[in-house]
């Protein structure tokens, strides 16, 4: 594994952070490891042309206006 020599700081709502940390603990995983895994998956999908990691069926404009 590569040396981790770079950091990232983000701001999130307190409730979101607490829920995330609790979910990580429930799976006996460090929050940083979960975030790194997400970043690897996201960038890998980007490189393969799968831009939206959470892509699902999208509603048309007409469906929103009904």
Query: Domain locations in the chain?
Result: 14-46
Would you state the pLDDT for residue 37?
97
Taking phi first (over 0 means left), then psi (-120 to 50 degrees means alpha), and beta for anything else, what does residue 49 get? Answer: left
Alpha helices in the chain (DSSP H): 14-26, 31-47, 61-64
- CB-count burial class (<10 Å; 0-12, 13-18, 19+) for 42: middle
Task: Summarize pLDDT for 5-62 with one digit per residue, the tens.
Answer: 899 999 999 999 999 999 999 999 999 999 999 999 999 988 888 666 566 655 555 5
């Amino acid at each position: 594994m590569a040396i981790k020599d770079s950091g990232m700081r983000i701001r999130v709502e307190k409730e979101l952070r607490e829920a995330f940390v609790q979910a990580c603990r429930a799976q006996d995983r460090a929050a940083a490891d979960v975030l790194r895994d997400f970043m690897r998956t996201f960038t890998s999908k980007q490189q393969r042309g799968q831009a939206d990691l959470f892509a699902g069926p999208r509603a048309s404009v007409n469906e929103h206006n009904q």
